[in-house]
Chains A and B, each alone.
Chain A
């Protein structure tokens, strides 16, 4: 579905943001990209939408090289919800905000209505249907941006820091939505610092540092590598740390932390 081949990206000021990145994401996979600030996570996902073009190497999405398609063309396949919801909300009503992309893609009025209603219900925004998106709280705005993306049913869904400003219940609901989308065969890419949020989803985890991928594997095994995570400035899930500490004790009830983690997951 998504393939990065030897992708290097250098900013105009000469800063190398991606350094020979190779990554393959299969259809239906849920992948989390983690790493310290400035590791190149957002730069990486911006290549999937064609907002950034690689300095060298190639990025293909569903067989289309991103250099050969516009962002508007790619966005039919790839939906990205950016970190700051205030960077996209402009319509007069929440309804129109969700309908914006659908109208850009030429959906029929009936289908626009159906998809908008679906999005409003999914994220509990029905009561704000005719309100201005600008009067919503931070968490509601964030949910609205997610509804805007999911409304046109893209094959690939990219969520950049989706948990910022969300309370515990909303985080749980969001994790549930991600699992649901994964089950429906969507390819999901989540960029997040929130390891506790990612842990129950059990995605494939890609750890980035200084524009490079330093680790790639399932969360259940990658999150055990405390030293590697510390070097990449990624925190370990508290549950994993707890069982690892427990396993070190002489009369530990559990010997194999990996087994315990699998059991708890």
Chain B
């Protein structure tokens, strides 16, 4: 589980992609995300995913994105089954299922290459309220901690004879109650303690605090952003006006 979840968590990297301005990384992920919503066939979706994988390879996070895909595949299979039951259309169901994978891959590409600090700066550039930014970034920052908590709680309950993998689906869901309650309680306690710790360190004392880091886009960042927008425009044009003439 921890191995799979690693596909969503930021780790320091030294690739050219990691060094990009976080706003450019967000732009690329946003464009990939939009592309997945605009495309209409399996082939087009495969192209978008291939492009995302190529970026992942450049950022040297291909393996971790692969893990993200593996984890997403379970939910994707569920989407496929539900759609095939209701639409009875194999291609439409497959498009929805693959689109879900593509959406997760495009967003995880940003989260695993942008540190929580970068995420904070990006959100600040959009002039979002400071408290909202802080709450969101803290939530992201605590994902690995909660993952670890979950594993420790599962260990503690398994040691008391709880068999999480035993029984039918309903029983398995019920078996998760002893894991979920301590997890939620711990999170609430931790958030309260964090709030107190922040306030005791003067959080909120100044209406407009200064920032140590201020991002300024370099030439390379601007070039990558421009290339990304151009590629997106060419891609969308091709999907709507060029590819349909070649595909059946």
Contact = CB atoms under 8 A, between A and B. Distances in A.
A163 interface: no
B208 interface: no
A90 B2 contact: no
A51 interface: yes
B163 A51 contact: no
Contact of A87 (B3, B149, B161): B149
Interface string A146-161: 0011001000000000
Interface stretch (B38-46, B152-160, B197-205): B152-160
A76 B157 CA distance: 13
A82 interface: yes
Q: Is the interface of B mostly helix, strand, loop or mixed?
A: helix
A242 interface: no
A148 B162 CA distance: 13
A104 B153 contact: no
A80 B155 CA distance: 10
Contacts of A149: 160
B155 A51 contact: yes
B160 A148 contact: yes
Contacts, number: 65
Interface string A80-106: 101010111110000000001100110
Given A12-B2, A72-B158, A82-B155, A87 B163 contact: no
A70 B164 CA distance: 11
A49 interface: yes
Interface residues of A, number: 27
Given A88-B157, A88-B182, A104 B162 contact: yes
A82 B156 contact: yes
B177 interface: yes
Q: Which of B2, B149, B156, B160 has the most CB of A within 10 A?
A: B160
Nearest to A12: B3
Contact of A75 (B3, B153, B158): B158
A71 B185 contact: no
B152 A82 contact: yes
A76 B160 CA distance: 8
Contacts of A70: 163
Q: Which of B158, B161, B177 has the most CB of A within 10 A?
A: B161
A90 B160 contact: no
A212 interface: no
A63 B103 CA distance: 50
Contact of A134 (B3, B156, B158, B185): B185
Interface in B72-94: none
Contacts of B2: 12
Interface in A135-184: 148-149, 152
A79 B159 contact: yes
Contacts of A100: 160, 162, 178
A100 B160 CA distance: 8
B166 to A, nearest CB: 8
A46 interface: yes
Contacts of B185: 86, 89-90, 134
A51 B159 contact: yes
A259 B184 CA distance: 53
Given A12-B2, A82-B152, A100-B178, A87 B186 contact: yes
B230 interface: no
A152 B189 CA distance: 30
A90 B182 contact: yes
Given A82-B152, A87-B149, A90-B181, A104 B160 contact: yes
Contacts of A78: 159
Interface of A: 12, 46, 49, 51, 70-72, 75-76, 78-80, 82, 84, 86-90, 100-101, 104-105, 134, 148-149, 152
Interface of B: 2-3, 149, 152-153, 155-163, 177-178, 181-182, 185-186, 189
Q: 5 tightest A-B contacts by CB?
A: A104-B161, A90-B181, A101-B160, A88-B156, A71-B158
